[in-house]
Structure 1
Amino acid sequence: MAHIIFYTKPGCMGAVRQKALLESYGHTLEERSLLSAEWTPETLEPYLASLELKEWFNPNAPAVKSGQMIPGALSREDTLDLLCSNPILIKRPLMNIGGQVLAGFDAEYLKEIGLCEVPSGYNTGCHKEDQGGACASSGS
């Protein structure tokens, strides 16, 4: 079983479901706030490295949903700086699994690395009906 450092937005119902699924497989999770962690381009980039630049963003972040922020429109360096200064925009969760880091809850990848299998129809995402949209909001 793995020890997972799990960065997310506190109160996000999608994260609650993701954590419950991982714990049901016997993994231990150390939850940390994505919003209060001190991110730098050097500490954040390894989590995002396997994704395309436009995939670095949380599609449910208010600035992304409103069109104020267009994922992929900035350079790699400017995107890292933006995400570090405004972590609500970061794709989540960020997970550190024994030194292996990744962003997002990719069911196929988690199955591939033997971490867990997401049952068909299991909701691992954030939705408007979850706490009135609290998953996407930046309120602390």
Structure 2
Amino acid sequence: MAHIVFYTKPGCRGGIMQKQLLISSGHEIEERSILDEKWTPDTLYPYLKGLNVKEWYNKNAVAVKNGTVIPGSLPEDKALELLCSDPLLIKRPLMIVGDKLVAGFNVEYLKELIGLYNIPEEDLTKCQGKTEASICEKNS
């Protein structure tokens, strides 16, 4: 069993499903709002290092979907500044798992790292809103 600090957007259906999978796999979740944290490049980068800059972004964010923000178009320092100024753009969840900092919900990686069981076939990183005007987009 792992203790996981889980930064997500409150009310996000995808985040709720991800947490349910972690809990049903026997892990303890300490949920925190990604919006309440005062992110700085120094605090955010450790979660993102090792990923391509394009992968730092939440592909479901309204600004990404509508083309206002193009993932990978900015250098690292500018991308970090942008993500810190608008946490909804950050790939989520951000997790602290032991001494590891993780960005995004990579089922295969988490399965190896901490163990996941009864993994659903659906993509848990996809927006789970039912319509284009879902609660996720209204609150983005």
Is the structural similarity TM-score above 0.5?
Answer: yes
Q: Is the Cα–Cα contact under 8 Å of residues 57 and 89 in structure 1 kept in the other structure?
A: yes
Q: Is the partner of 2:136 in helix, strand or coil?
A: coil
The 8 Å contact of residues 107 and 117 in structure 1, kept in 2 or not, is answered as no
In the TM superposition, 1:38-117 aligns within 5 A as 38-117=38-117
Distance (Å, rounded) in 1 between the aligned partners of 2:124 and 2:137:
14
Change in Cα spacing, 1:71 to 1:108, as seen in structure 2 (3 Å) is same
Tell me the matched-pair count: 139
Aligned to 1:134: 135
Structure 1 partner of 2:30: 30
Q: TM-score, normalised by structure 1?
A: 0.91
The structural deviation recorded for 1:133 is 2.3
Pair 1:4 & 2:4 matched: yes
Distance 1:10 1:131 in 2: 19
Question: Is it true that 1:21 corresponds to 2:21 in the alignment?
Answer: yes
Q: Distance in 2 between matches of 1:12 and 1:133?
A: 10
Task: Give 3-state SS (helix, strand or coil) of 1:7's partner.
Answer: strand
In structure 1, stretches of 5+ residues that fail to align are: none
Question: Structure 2, unaligned stretches of length 5 or more?
Answer: none
Deviations 1:25-79 (A, max 9, x none): 1111010000111101011001011211000000110110000100010110000
Could you say if the C-alpha distance between residues 137 and 75 of structure 1 is closer, same or farther in structure 2, counting changes exceeding 3 Å?
A: farther
Amino acid paired to 1:128: G
CA distance in 1, matches of 2:48, 2:138: 21
Question: Displacement, 1:112?
Answer: 1.9
Contact 1:14 1:123 in 2 (8 A): no
Identity percentage over the alignment? 51
Runs of 4+ with deviation above 6 angstroms: none
**What is the CA distance between 1:118 and its match in structure 2?**
5.6
| TM superposition score normalised by structure 2 | 0.91
Q: Does 1:124 align with 2:124?
A: yes
